[in-house]
């Protein structure tokens, strides 16, 4: 007989059923959460445990100069990682930590912490290692094959950025960070073009985290980045950098920066900001003086701050990022505005008394010099302040500002470099409504406003190309990995600022400034240079100046424009005419010759021009003496035929210089001690050189031979050199070069 369930039993059954139902519901809910809500999360987690995903670094695009010489390049390198889950013994761990920290020069504690992550299948130790370290590590792994280090330590392909020319064009090129991302310069500005697309190697792993056979491996190749072809020409860039380094030394200056630009296109052929730094070691302070100053600081905090400031200072491209007061160079644009508006002609006269009253105070010419009655032909070479103050006042603030804006001084140039300083009304310049009589007068001779060097060189170039303001640029082409052109920069005319006639008139006046005015130290025999100097007071450093020169050449068909700025010069050369103009002259001389622009000598220049040594080899000593009658021939040896000569045929040497000819194959070379050739007149320097058995090549101004003085020689005094050697001696004038 069946027993009927009691109420108590029924209650228990219900409770059990409900509990079981809740348990089943919880299981279903948990499965729903795992499979549906968190399914993607656990799927990815499972894949990470089952798959090894290795990144294949793409090669960053190269950077070339205008002649396709490599400036920046990515080379094959290696990345080292470990699989901590494969470390089975303390002995293995010790070998991994000791080997990696020693060979790769990585902090030991860092490697140890990564080796102890037992749950990890991949821990990066170091990327961008070179072949030498890779080979050393491979040998170490082989030497410990019994300890199965090959299962723990992995080496994958990687890339490394390097700069074959070191500090060359460092302020333009810039550098990359640890993740191969551009940090400054073109590396930053063109980062998206230079950066390629990384590839991947995906490999299945077994339950022990070991690699499966190649059948389970998938490879996605990396795509290299685009390359850049610059407008920068390596020889021109080197000329510029070398001369700026010398300028800092000669003028005891803080900084020196400069630009060489193609007048017709706006292409930058050279750009430098000195001191510079080594692109392969950007976090190393390059200046020994700065390092010495940092050592003298008291606290570690002060030193750390100073080191950071020094690094940012050496990375800074002052040509595009710094503003300065242009000084008297700006008078060119005031003159252009006056001519264009018909307010003056080149023959309009003005009587300079050395000062002029503006509002309630007086503005002066340099040293209160009274220039007397003068036209524009005298006012620009003399750099007369009061002439241009008067001209600015005649223009009035509306017309003055019209040309200030038209020449590009109220906007960025648009050059393809990062961190170009942005002009700001009320900060770097006065807007037209704020140009009172005092502001207008000061701005008319280049004070109380600031511009960037790249703005100035662009405006100067417009005076050399018929009045067209161009957009400056440094990248001419962007290439893909196969060398195909992806993009090409075309010269861009922003606007016609002044007429071709006005521009040509200003150019002819600029040539007069170099022939007889404050820029005479930029003179180069055979090349007709147009230029203007400036000396401006720094607002940020009381008592300090910026000495500058801006100009172009040749005068009849301008090809290149040059701007030189010497920041805080000291000693005897502190003005644009004495500090910056000689630097520009040396660069003009080298660059114009490099560009194969034929010099055109005047009759007076031909009289003092450097000659070339004739070829005397193979001639009898008698014939050689007759064929070199314009020179002094010195015979060494007892033979009767010339075997060799110094200087060699075709080398530069002065008229009346010495040629040493050797008549015996093994005759000992005659040498002498180079004398001091500085601080002398042209005649004195030539006499001293010839008396010592050497020749000189004259560089610099020879327009006022009675007042020019030599200030540098290419071969140092006291050097033991072969007789007949040609020594370049640099001359400049210290008279009437202040502005």
pLDDT for 206 equals 53
Distances in Å between the Cα of 614 and the Cα atoms of 309, 419, 651, 653, 689 are 56, 53, 9, 10, 20
Nearest to 126 by CA among 91, 101, 144, 147: 101
3-state secondary structure of 603: helix
- Fold (CATH) for 609-733: Trypsin Inhibitor V; Chain A (3.30.10)
Phi (first) and psi of residue 325, to 5 degrees: -85, 125
Q: Tell me, what DSSP letter sits at residue 5?
A: P
SS3 labels along 173-207 = HCCECCCCCECCHHHHHCHHHHCCECEEEEEEECC
Give the integer Cα–Cα distance in Å for 469 and 473: 13
Instruction: Name the strand (E) or helix (H) holding 720.
Output: strand 720-722
Q: What is the CA radius of gyration of the chain?
A: 36
Nearest to 261 by CA among 232, 241, 235, 229: 232
141: CB partners within 8 A, 6+ apart:
149, 150, 153
* 8 A C-beta contact, residue 255 and residue 273: yes
Q: Is 483 exposed, middle or buried (0-12, 13-18, 19+ CB in 10 A)?
A: exposed
Give the integer Cα–Cα distance in Å for 595 and 239: 13
Give the integer Cα–Cα distance in Å for 21 and 18: 5
3-state secondary structure of 693: coil
* 8 A C-beta contact, residue 520 and residue 225: no
The fourth-level CATH superfamily of domain 320-600 is: DD-peptidase/beta-lactamase superfamily (3.40.710.10)
Rounded to whole angstroms, the maximal C-alpha distance in the chain is 155
Give the integer Cα–Cα distance in Å for 152 and 122: 10
The pTM of this model reads: 0.82
Give the integer Cα–Cα distance in Å for 475 and 572: 39
3-state secondary structure of 620: strand
**pLDDT < 70 stretches in the chain:** 1-14, 16-17, 19, 26, 28-57, 199-221, 607-609, 703-706
199-204 and 372-374 as β-strands: parallel, antiparallel, unpaired? unpaired
Give the integer Cα–Cα distance in Å for 582 and 587: 9
* 8 A C-beta contact, residue 580 and residue 738: no
90: CB partners within 8 A, 6+ apart:
none
| DSSP per-residue codes, 510-556 | HHHHHHHSTTGGG-BTTB--EEEEEEEE-SSSTT-EEEEEEEEE-TT
Give the integer Cα–Cα distance in Å for 440 and 423: 18
In sequence order, the β-bridge partners of residue 304 are none
3-state secondary structure of 711: strand
Give the integer Cα–Cα distance in Å for 454 and 323: 10
Give the integer Cα–Cα distance in Å for 486 and 226: 8
pLDDT for 540 equals 78
CA 32 from chain center: how many Å? 63
Nearest to 521 by CA among 736, 251, 242, 271: 736
695-700 and 726-733 as β-strands: parallel, antiparallel, unpaired? parallel
Phi (first) and psi of residue 45, to 5 degrees: -65, -40
pLDDT for 600 equals 85
Distances in Å between the Cα of 538 and the Cα atoms of 164, 449, 542, 545, 568 are 37, 11, 7, 5, 8
Starting from the edge strand earliest in sequence, which strands make up the sheet with 51-56, in order?
Answer: 51-56, 199-204, 217-220
In sequence order, the β-bridge partners of residue 356 are 363
Cβ atoms within 10 Å, residue 185: 25
* 8 A C-beta contact, residue 662 and residue 618: no
CATH of 55-165+193-228, one of 3.40.50.261, 3.40.50.970, 3.40.50.12500, 3.90.1310.10: 3.90.1310.10
Q: Where are the domains of the chain?
A: 55-165+193-228, 320-600, 609-733
Distances in Å between the Cα of 636 and the Cα atoms of 650, 661, 663, 664, 672 are 21, 6, 6, 8, 14
pLDDT for 412 equals 98
Nearest to 80 by CA among 64, 103, 98, 46: 103
| DSSP per-residue codes, 422-475 | PP-BTTTB--GGG--HHHHHHHTTT-S--B-HHHHHHHHHHHHTTSEEEPPBSE
Cβ atoms within 10 Å, residue 242: 15
726-733 and 708-713 as β-strands: parallel, antiparallel, unpaired? antiparallel
Give the integer Cα–Cα distance in Å for 116 and 84: 7
Give the integer Cα–Cα distance in Å for 381 and 514: 8
Instruction: Provide the sign of the torsion angle of the four alpha carbons 140, 144, 147, 150, taken in this order.
Output: positive
In sequence order, the β-bridge partners of residue 77 are 158
């Amino acid at each position: 007989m069946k027993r009927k369930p009691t109420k108590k039993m029924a209650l228990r059954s219900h409770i059990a059923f409900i509990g079981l139902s809740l348990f089943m519901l919880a299981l279903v809910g948990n499965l729903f959460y795992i499979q549906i809500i968190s399914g993607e999360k656990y799927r990815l987690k499972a894949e990470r445990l089952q798959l090894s995903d290795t990144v294949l670094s793409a090669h960053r695009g190269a950077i070339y100069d205008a002649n396709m010489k490599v400036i920046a390049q990515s080379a094959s390198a290696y990345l080292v990682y470990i699989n901590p889950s494969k470390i089975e013994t303390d002995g293995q761990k010790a070998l991994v930590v000791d080997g990696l920290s020693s060979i790769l020069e990585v902090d030991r504690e860092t490697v140890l912490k990564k080796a102890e992550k037992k749950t990890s299948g991949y821990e990066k130790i170091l990327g961008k290692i070179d072949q030498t370290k890779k080979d050393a590590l491979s040998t170490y792994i082989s030497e410990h094959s019994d300890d199965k280090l090959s299962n723990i330590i992995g080496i994958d392909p990687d890339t490394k950025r390097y700069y074959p020319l070191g500090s060359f064009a460092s302020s333009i090129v810039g550098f990359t960070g640890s993740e191969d991302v551009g940090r400054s310069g073109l590396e930053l500005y063109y980062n998206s073009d230079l950066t390629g697309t990384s590839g991947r190697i995906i490999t299945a792993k077994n339950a022990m985290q070991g690699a499966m056979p190649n059948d389970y491996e998938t490879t996605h190749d990396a795509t290299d980045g685009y390359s850049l072809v610059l407008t920068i020409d390596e020889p021109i860039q080197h000329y510029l950098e070398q001369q700026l380094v010398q300028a800092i030394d000669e003028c005891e200056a803080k900084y020196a920066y400069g630009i060489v630009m193609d007048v017709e296109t706006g292409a930058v052929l050279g750009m430098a900001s000195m001191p510079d730094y080594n692109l392969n070691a950007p976090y190393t302070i390059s200046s020994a003086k700065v390092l010495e100053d940092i050592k003298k600081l008291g606290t570690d905090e002060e030193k750390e701050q100073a080191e950071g400031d020094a690094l940012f200072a050496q990375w800074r491209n002052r040509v595009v990022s710094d503003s300065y007061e242009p000084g008297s160079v700006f008078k060119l644009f005031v003159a252009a505005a006056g001519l264009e508006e018909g307010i003056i002609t080149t023959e309009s006269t003005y009587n300079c008394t050395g000062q002029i009253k503006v509002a309630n105070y007086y503005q002066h010419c340099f040293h209160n010099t009274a220039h007397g009655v003068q036209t524009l032909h005298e006012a620009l070479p003399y750099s007369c302040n009061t002439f241009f103050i008067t001209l600015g006042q005649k223009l009035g603030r509306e017309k003055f500002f019209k040309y200030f804006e038209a020449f590009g001084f109220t906007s960025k140039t648009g050059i393809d470099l990062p961190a170009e300083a942005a002009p700001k009304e009320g900060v770097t310049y006065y807007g037209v409504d704020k140009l009172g009589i005092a502001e207008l007068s000061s701005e008319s001779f280049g004070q109380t406003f600031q511009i960037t060097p790249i703005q100035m060189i662009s405006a100067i170039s417009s005076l050399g190309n018929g009045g067209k303001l161009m957009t400056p640029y440094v990248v001419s082409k962007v290439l893909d990995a196969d060398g195909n052109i992806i993009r090409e920069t075309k010269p861009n005319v922003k606007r016609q600022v002044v007429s071709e006639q006005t521009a040509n008139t200003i150019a002819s006046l600029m040539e007069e400034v170099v022939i007889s005015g404050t820029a005479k130290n930029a003179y180069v025999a055979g090349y007709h240079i147009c230029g203007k100097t400036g000396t401006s007071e720094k607002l940020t450093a009381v008592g300090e100046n910026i000495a500058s020169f801006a100009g172009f050449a040749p005068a009849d068909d301008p090809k290149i424009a040059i701007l030189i700025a010497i920041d805080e010069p000291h000693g005897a050369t502190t003005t644009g005419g004495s500090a910056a103009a000689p630097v520009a002259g040396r660069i003009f001389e080298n660059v114009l010759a490099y560009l194969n622009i034929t010099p055109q000598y005047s009759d007076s220049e031909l009289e003092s021009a450097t000659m070339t040594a004739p070829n005397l080899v193979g001639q009898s000593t008698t014939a050689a003496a007759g064929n070199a009658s314009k020179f002094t021939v010195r015979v060494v040896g007892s033979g009767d035929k010339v075997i060799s000569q110094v200087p060699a045929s075709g080398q530069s040497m002065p008229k009346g210089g010495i040629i040493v000819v050797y008549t015996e194959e093994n005759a000992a070379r005659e040498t002498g001690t180079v004398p001091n050739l500085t601080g002398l007149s042209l005649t004195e320097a030539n006499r001293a050189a010839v008396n010592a058995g050497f020749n000189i090549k004259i560089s610099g101004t020879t327009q006022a031979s009675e007042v020019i003085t030599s200030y540098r020689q290419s071969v140092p005094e006291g050097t033991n050199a072969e007789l007949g050697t040609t020594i370049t001696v640099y001359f400049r004038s210290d008279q009437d070069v202040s502005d």
